[in-house]
Amino acid sequence: MFPWVDGFHWTATHIIFLSLFFSAILIILSTLVRGIWRAYSDFRAHRATAMCWRENFIALPEADRRCRHQLAGRVDFRTCDNAFDCRGCPNYANFAELPASPPTGSAGVSFSNKLLYHRGHTWVRPEEDGSYTIGLDEFAQCLVGRPDSVKLPTQCEDIESEGIAWRMTKHGHEIRVRAPLTGTVVSTGGPDKGWYLKILPYGPVNLRHLLSGPEVAGWLAAETQRLQLQLCSSDAGPCLADGGTLLPDLMDAEPNADWDTVLGSTFLDS
Amino acid sequence: MIARYGMVIDLDRCTGCGACMIACAAENNVPPEPPRATPRTGITPMLVRALSNGRDGADRREAFIPITCMQCENETPCVAVCPQQAVEVDKSTGIVMQIPQRCLGCRYCMTACPYHARYFNWWDPQWPPGMEKSLNPGVSVRMRGVVEKCNLCHTRFHGAEEKAAVAGRKEIDPADYIPACVEACPTGAILFGNLADPNDPVTLAAHSPDSFRLLERIGTEPKIHYKTTQDWIRALADKNANHPTEAQHV
Amino acid sequence: MSETILLDRRWIARGAERSSTLHFLLWLAPWVFLLLLGIYAAGLCFYYGLNQTNMDNRFAFGMWIFLDLSVIAMGAGAFFTGFLVYILKQNDLKPMLNSAVVIGLTCYSGAVAVLMVDVGQPLRAWFTFWYPNTHSMLTEVTFCISCYLLVLILEYIPVLLRNRQLRKIPSFLIFEHQFHKLVPVLAGVGTFLSFFHQGSLGGLYGVLRGRPFAYRQGFAIWPSTFFLFILSALAVGPSFLMLVVATAEKITGRQLVQQGVFRKLGFISGVLLALYIAAKAVDTYIWLNFTSPALGFGPVDFYSYWPLSSTFLFIATVPLGLFPAILFVVPRTARHRGLLLLAAVLTCGGVLLNRFVMTVQTLALPTLPFDEFLKYTPSWQEVATFGGVIAYGVIVYSLSYRYLPLFEAPKGEDKHVSLG
């Protein structure tokens, strides 16, 4: 195999054969190394969380990737092509200028005008001391009810926007809640406290990707409708969905529904 | 000296006694066959086969043909196919050598050999207690899973070289190098010698009009020749001879 | 019990319809049994030696070599589909890619496993690499198959990492994202390696001057069987892939790919099969009229011993050769799914027959003038090992289908999302 090993011959056949073999091995191994190196570079450049989110986003069904402007009634139909990150969306400004026409009537679940909402069903409240409080919105709370367990990050731990803020389990389902902002955890709450995390962001804060005002109603109405369709059993006939509010503790009320799909759509986990 | 060791086997003298097979087995430490062995799983570097002209009654003729490694000279099939160069032709003797320690046991050489002169160790060698005393100390025992074949008693060649070195000679004395089968044959049917030496009796016998080789048209140039005056045997071999005559079954 | 079911469900993609855990276990059970039986038989061979088989000094190659050649031919769909998609840009075949990789992986790893049992000294397998004989076709086969197995493993890793739970690990997801982009390079190397080893498997027999039934002349150092084996592998690869996916569709009860994909694969298979039959006809003519008479052997030496042997030649050429080629290519028949699948089965049968004739029949035929036609029946250990490999393939494919997105088009190319 090598010149110093018995059986090596300095003949054309031998050398061509081994050259081709070594080249093939080199190409194969270098491809592997390149893949590992590129992945490592992504982690070093702090691109990993954003990339993971993007991969996750692409894997979501198209129905779960509606642009906020469609939900707000600014456009008829638009699928988000920027992983819900309006902060970097080149088209955001164009659509934001259009008049919004949110649906009238109940959104099916209550919300507050003072809070900013993330598409992963968390709310954000800026505090006076510069920190931000993060909680689970009414929609998610109705769905999950009281979680069986909650795994919050510890104090001084960092969370990254579009990364995982905290995890919950309910009836054996693991729920990964997306972080709406980047920052360091100052204190932790829980389902009893009405909020889950208080964070102190580092760097400039851009909240453009969070929903507020009329958009929230449109979004929650669409979410409620989606939920209704997903929970509807397949052998039911056509139903008229004309409003009403979500009941709390849905997972307890209907333990046999396809919660896997529902939770994935709700918390944007593919 | 570059030698080309070969044989001329006189089929008119071969009685099929099998002494050559036994001598070969004894010389090469071939183990006794295990209970489940069949005629096709035995190790017989020298194997005597029976021939007949296929007729009955008074017209029937039979003969015996000892088959051993033909020590092919031209593009030796087993050398060409071995994936890890465990077979090579020894340039100084022309003997096709097998390296059992390098053999993977893939058996590709066995498929390649047109003479079926290669044998695989299907079992671990085992000797009944006490029989190990009869083993030849000059020949290593092979483990299961490797191929082996006749190597013209190469250890005897080494012995002859040692003897020559002790006596201060560069060339071996041909009388010192006699393979076991040649030595054992009671009728002297096997003639062994150096085909590179034009005066060697084996060379002269190989060139006689009565001599032939098996599967000559395949072009392996075997160094084991056969000799017979019986036409029906020649007719069997003629189909594949380099100069085919009309095949006649006598 | 429900916890176990949920545990199983967690590994299945969200929203994917899969049979219940119990059903799946019931499906797997007989295959697992077959696999264990195969492992036991192989274990016997490792422990007691190859005397556990019915191979002998005359049938030095037996059922296992037939198995190796056959599964490697069937697994050719892996490299060929990759070549068609990445290099020839036949993007409508993309949904078949992952299946092709799984099939290729199981075929090649199964073949290598059986080879390890088949050789007398498996621990010396590295000798071929250390002391290679570059004139031997078997050396070429060993090198190429080892490299290609590595390629297949690397191509399977991104598929594996798309599992729902494995994706949650950031390093896996990022690696999959980056490595996925490099797979076309592997496909290219894989194509190159595959051409050589598919051909060399044919070359194994074509170079045997001592076996005039198998010996062929050819081009440079490569006998005609080198090229014939490549052609037949290219023809059977898409057919076998089609059969596996169609079987998966039948068993799961859902349509996994569009019908047009089957038709396209069938067309490719048919064209190559027709080319193969034509080449083989020319080759057979040359072989019977020139090559083997030069060695002193004629058709009577090959076909007079056993009534079926000449029938095999006819069967391989017409019912298992020309007939399926026509079914694949003619639009009226190619439109029917049933006829497409029939043609695929016949193509696979034809290639299996060809591999059988080259491996087993070659050894049965006498070379010495006083020899006779020999018979060989594999022992139960050989059959069990064969069954074990098939079971292994079924198990790996079943697991891959259940837990991995085998039929999703690889993401990223068709959805444009910036990093923001």
pLDDT tens-digit map of B12-62: 999 999 999 999 999 999 999 899 999 999 999 999 999 998 899 999 999
pLDDT > 70? residue A40: yes
pLDDT for residue C299: 87
Residues 132-161 of C with CB under 8 A from A: 132-135, 139-140, 143, 147, 150-151, 154
Put simply, the answer to whether C185 touches A27 (Cβ < 8 Å) is yes
pLDDT > 80? residue C413: no
- Which residue does chain C place closest to B116, by CA atoms? C58
Q: How far apart are CA C49 and CA A17, in angstroms?
A: 33
- Which residue does chain C place closest to A164, by CA atoms? C168
**How far from C223 is each of C70, C198, C207, C233, C384, CA to CA, in Å?**
19, 13, 6, 16, 34
Which of C49, C128, C135 is opposite residue B80, by nearest beta carbon? C135
Per residue in A125-151, pLDDT (tens digit) is 999 999 999 999 999 999 999 999 999
- Residue B245: inside a domain: no
Average pLDDT over residues A210-229: 88
Q: Which pair of structure tokens corresponds to residue A114?
A: 């003072």
pLDDT > 80? residue C42: yes
pTM over 0.90: yes
Dihedral over Cα of A235, A239, A243, A244: its sign:
negative
The 3-state DSSP class for residue A63 equals: helix
Calculate how close chain C gets to B184, using CA atoms only, in Å: 25
Residues 17-56 of C with CB under 8 A from B: 49-51, 56
Q: How far apart are CA B202 and CA A174, in angstroms?
A: 88
- Residue B85: inside a domain: yes
Put simply, the answer to whether C57 touches B144 (Cβ < 8 Å) is no
Average pLDDT over residues B61-72: 96
Q: How far apart are CA C216 and CA C207, in angstroms?
A: 7
pLDDT for residue A235: 58
- Residue A124: inside a domain: yes
pLDDT > 90? residue C98: yes
Q: How far apart are CA C288 and CA C369, in angstroms?
A: 19
Q: How many domains does chain B divide into?
A: 1
DSSP structural state of residue A137: -
DSSP conformation letters of B181-224: HHHH-TT--EEEEETTSTTSHHHHHHTSTTEE-TTGGGT---SE
C30-403 belongs to CATH 3.40.50.2300: no
CATH number of the domain residue B227 falls in = 3.30.70.20
Orientation of helix C337-356 relative to helix C259-286, angle to 10°: 30
CATH number of the domain residue A190 falls in = 2.40.50.100
Q: What angle do CA C119, C124, C127 make, to 5 degrees?
A: 115
pLDDT > 50? residue B250: no
Q: Does B49 touch chain C (CB under 8 A)?
A: yes
HSE-CB for A45 with a 13 A CA cutoff? 11
HSE-CB for C19 with a 13 A CA cutoff? 16
Q: Does C126 touch chain B (CB under 8 A)?
A: no
Put simply, the answer to whether C193 touches A31 (Cβ < 8 Å) is no
B248 confidence band (pLDDT: 50, 70, 90): very low
By residue range, what is the domain housing residue B90? 5-238
Per residue in C200-227, pLDDT (tens digit) is 999 999 999 999 999 999 988 899 999 9
CA R_g for chain C: 22
Which of C124, C128, C370 is opposite residue B49, by nearest beta carbon? C370
C210: nearest Cα among B133, B49, B240: B240
Calculate how close chain B gets to C382, using CA atoms only, in Å: 15
pLDDT > 70? residue B240: no
- Residue A155: inside a domain: yes
Put simply, the answer to whether C369 touches B239 (Cβ < 8 Å) is yes
pLDDT for residue A236: 59
Average pLDDT over residues C168-176: 94
Q: Which pair of structure tokens corresponds to residue C76?
A: 């050719």
Cβ atoms within 10 Å, residue C204: 28
Orientation of helix C63-74 relative to helix C97-118, angle to 10°: 160
Interface size between A and C, measured as CB pairs under 8 A:
125
C417 confidence band (pLDDT: 50, 70, 90): very low
Averaged confidence pLDDT in chain A: 89
pLDDT for residue B236: 84
Q: Residue A42: its chain C contacts at CB < 8 A? A: 174, 178
DSSP conformation letters of A213-238: THHHHHHHHHHHHHHHHHHS-TT---
Pairing of strands A173-178, A183-190: unpaired
Put simply, the answer to whether C368 touches B120 (Cβ < 8 Å) is no
pLDDT for residue B239: 65
Put simply, the answer to whether C130 touches A5 (Cβ < 8 Å) is yes
Pairing of strands B5-10, B224-227: parallel
Average pLDDT over residues C347-355: 96
Q: How many domains does chain A divide into?
A: 1
- Residue A195: inside a domain: yes
Put simply, the answer to whether C56 touches B107 (Cβ < 8 Å) is no
CB A223 within 8 A of CB A106: no
Put simply, the answer to whether A173 touches C134 (Cβ < 8 Å) is no
Backbone angles phi, psi at C35, to 5 degrees: -65, -45
DSSP structural state of residue C335: T
C199 confidence band (pLDDT: 50, 70, 90): very high
- Residue B114: inside a domain: yes
Average pLDDT over residues C27-55: 97
- Residue A49: inside a domain: no
Averaged confidence pLDDT in chain C: 92
CB A102 within 8 A of CB A96: no
Does A102 or C321 have the greater pLDDT score? C321
Q: Which pair of structure tokens corresponds to residue A188?
A: 């932790």
Touching partners of C (3+ C-beta pairs < 8 Å):
A, B
CB C178 within 8 A of CB A42: yes
pLDDT > 80? residue A245: no
| Lowest pLDDT segment from A224-238, C83-97, C227-241 | A224-238
CB B73 within 8 A of CB B147: no
Q: Does B122 touch chain C (CB under 8 A)?
A: yes
**How far from A173 is each of A118, A251, B130, C258, CA to CA, in Å?**
22, 10, 72, 34
Which of B83, B102, B217 is opposite residue C138, by nearest beta carbon? B83
By residue range, what is the domain housing residue A156? 107-232+243-266
CB C155 within 8 A of CB C107: no
Which of C140, C151, C173 is opposite residue A28, by nearest beta carbon? C151
CB C346 within 8 A of CB C320: yes
pLDDT for residue A251: 87
